[in-house]
Chain A
Amino acid sequence: MTQHRRPATPQAAHLKTDQEIRAHARTVHASAIVIDANGELALGQVPFDRVTPDQSFADAQRSGLTALSYTAGCWGPGALLSYENVLADLARWHGHLARYRQRLRLATCAEDIRAAKADGRLAIVLNVQDASILGRDLSVLDLLHGFGVRQVQLTYNTRNLIGDGCTERTNAGLSDFGAAVVRRLNELGILIDLSHCGRQTTLDAAAVSTRPVACTHTAARARRDIPRNKRDDELRAVAATGGVVGVVAVPSFLTNKSQATLDDVLDHIDHIVDGIGVEHVGIGTDRGVSFETATREEYYAWLAPLGFKPEVNPPWPPGVEGLACAADLPNLTEGLIRRGYDDDAIRSILGGNFLRLYEHTIGER
């Protein structure tokens, strides 16, 4: 795998003023296919129920997003992800896709994302973040595929029948059933997401998968040592499949400082680019398109049943300064210019790499 590192001479050198940099950032951002490989669009679901649909679509416009991968399942307070919740939320989202068809389109192939860019809509890639909902029945994957799901994370934070999550006390590899799940996901053309998986499960899944895999929303453990972040060898294993690692905008994953900033996001991007090459890096904010207006109490009540341990429990306020939500993504483009990335590299990070990954997994059309 060739490694395109950052150029020695920053291209920003020829951009003299802040004004010139910002203008250039707007041009690059507007020309890019921008993909948030793990985001959230508020259309009434907890805990984003105070953001109106109009606000959501205005923020989506501001973000410049072409596609967003939405997690079906609607983890409400007290309700863990379940098969019933996922089906109910998929039903709701198919309703949204019909109701807001001027704004949204379902993406079940890479071409849908390009078409969304052309007609100014936001493409939605439906994902499920905990394959425990399969129980021990592989055919549930066919059902999910039929309902448009194109991205499935093998585990959430804790153990399931497939593998261990990253906060689990153990570090089990992929089970026999897990290996069968990976093979079926490969056959169906569903992107395998390893973001929350434990280390051995991540390495095993990358080894077993015959198609590229992703960590859609994580950060570099070398920069911030928490279980939710990926060690360098895991990042290399994902890249070796031709996969992509999406960097989060979750403050506590980026830094132990009380306030994370855009620079922290850029530091993680730099680290991962240096380690595995710019063609394997993308964005998965793990944030809403809009800044959530839930209160501190509501926010923690929502997180409580999700198996987070204190060391990875996101702090309050939940936003990174400068990248509090996907609507702030144009700031990231400006930041990448200031860090010396050229236009092609920036476009690949913003979404080009995930688009290629989708082509290789869910298919071109």
Chain B
Amino acid sequence: MGPRGMPQRSAEDTGRAERVHGGAYVIDAACPLVNPKDIDQQLPELRRGGVTCAVGTVASIEGSRETLHAIAAWFPTLRERCGDLCLATTAADIEAAKRAGKVAVVLQFQGGTPLDYNANLVEAFYRLGVRVIQLTYNERNPLGDGCTERTDAGLSDLGVRVIAEMNRLGVAVDLSHVGYRTSMEAIEASAAPVIFSHSNARAVCDSARNLTDDQMRAAAARGGVIGVNAFPAFVARHQAPTVEHLLDHIEYMVRVVGDDHVGLGFDFSRETEEDYKYFKYKEDVYPKPPWVYPAGIDGFAKIPNVTRGLVARGYSDDAIRKILGGNFLRIFRQVWGG
């Protein structure tokens, strides 16, 4: 365990961190800010952070119609920025983006509401390029309960059918934000390994949005991957969080499930009071905005600090590459094919 605050680093460590980071697949598995509206602003940041692949959120609690429009907005953006961006629907697309020096964009839902009670829409959205579907946002939806819901309902019949469709087609089942029972039943129901794209360890920071050890172990036992989250209230509760607190989550997860099952899903976002009402956040879990991201990891450009921190904490090059994106690339290849 490294000392608190920004650790002292040797020139040798700095060189090693740069080398590992530059050679690695860096995958951020939850990027609300990677969307057509914000892409011009975020692209330089993504570049500075050395991001290979950004999993962009196109819907959380919206229905099919709004989601269709949100996906459609990506196509002209991808066409116009084809020198910088490419849509990734296979692991090979992510590898090709790395070679070509582009940022690969994966389309993700942070909730199953775009399916409108209709499991056939999984294939419709799959054909449009969606490769990650988180089953619920924070509240109940037709598939299951979210983690801040007053109840803890399990997976619904429709949820079971939707997971079967996702397994058949090759869409990653994402269980961040999902309530405990729904998440455990989904891990059980899914034939493929699942991800928690952006969730921290509850033992390190006690939040309804963070994972218990048994959730992490259940996912890892089936080959799953957990992305560590930079959202301040999920990193540390009683003090201003820093990148060191985020590294503490990584260390804890590696201790509980091993370095094959940990990745990154920073969830950098920027929301207004109006958004806050729209998402019906509960204040005990989500403090009111503005949200101040942890010092040292307050945006894509700072992602190399994570690599530096992992070097300082004594992780091997191989372990660091897995955490930066190797693990997510592995599970995406396994689930999506290619």
Contact = CB atoms under 8 A, between A and B. Distances in A.
B61 A136 contact: yes
A61 interface: no
Interface stretch (A30-38, A169-177, A238-246): A169-177
A158 B139 contact: no
Contacts of A177: 139-140, 280
A169 B149 CA distance: 19
Nearest to A172: B153
Q: Closest 8 A-B residue pairs measured CB to CB?
A: A172-B153, A175-B140, A159-B156, A170-B154, A173-B151, A176-B150, A169-B157, A170-B153
Interface stretch (A18-26, A50-58, A160-168): A160-168
Interface in B132-189: 139-142, 145, 149-151, 153-158, 160
Given A168-B157, A170-B155, A175-B151, A135 B63 contact: yes
Contact of B150 (A135, A136, A179): A179
A80 interface: yes
Interface string A104-131: 0000000000000000000000000000
A216 interface: no
Contacts of A132: 117, 142
Nearest to A136: B61
Contacts of B153: 159, 164, 170-173
Interface residues of B, number: 19
20 contacts: A158-B142, A159-B140, A159-B158, A161-B141, A161-B142, A167-B157, A168-B157, A169-B154, A169-B155, A169-B156, A170-B153, A170-B154, A170-B156, A174-B150, A175-B140, A175-B145, A175-B151, A176-B149, A177-B280, A178-B140
Contacts of B139: 136, 161, 175-177
A164 B152 CA distance: 12
A175 B282 CA distance: 14
Contacts of A176: 139-140, 149-150, 280
Contacts of A135: 63
Contact of A172 (B61, B63, B117, B140): B140
Contacts of A172: 140, 145, 151, 153-154
A80 B139 CA distance: 23
Nearest to B143: A159
A164 B144 CA distance: 10
A158 B139 CA distance: 17
B274 to A, nearest CB: 15
Given A172-B151, A175-B145, 10 more contacts: A158-B157, A159-B140, A159-B158, A168-B156, A169-B156, A172-B153, A173-B151, A176-B140, A177-B140, A177-B280
A200 to B, nearest CB: 8
A174 B151 contact: yes
Interface residues of A, number: 22
Interface of A: 80, 132, 135-136, 158-161, 164, 167-179
A279 to B, nearest CB: 32
Nearest to B148: A176
A302 B157 CA distance: 21
B149 A175 contact: yes
A23 B158 CA distance: 53
A167 B158 CA distance: 12
Nearest to B141: A161
Interface in B114-142: 117, 139-142
A169 B140 contact: no
Q: Which of A80, A132, A174, A175 has the most CB of B within 10 A?
A: A175
Contacts of B140: 159, 161, 172, 175-178
Interface in B58-94: 61, 63
Contacts of A159: 140, 142, 153, 156-158
Contacts of B157: 158-159, 167-169
A178 B140 CA distance: 10
A161 B112 CA distance: 12
Contacts of B160: 169
Of the listed residues A172, A175, A177, A178, the one surrounded by the most CB atoms of chain B closer than 10 A to its CB is A172
Contacts of B158: 158-159
Given A172-B145, A175-B139, A158 B151 contact: no
A80 B117 contact: yes
A184 to B, nearest CB: 15
A295 to B, nearest CB: 27
Contacts of A168: 156-157
Contacts of A136: 61, 139, 280
B193 to A, nearest CB: 23
Contacts of A167: 157
Nearest to B154: A170
A240 B61 CA distance: 36
Nearest to A132: B117
B68 to A, nearest CB: 16
B231 to A, nearest CB: 21
A144 to B, nearest CB: 18
A309 to B, nearest CB: 9
Counting chain A CB atoms within 10 Å of each CB, the highest count among B61, B117, B139, B280 belongs to B117
B64 to A, nearest CB: 11
A167 B156 CA distance: 10
Contacts of A80: 117
A156 B37 CA distance: 39
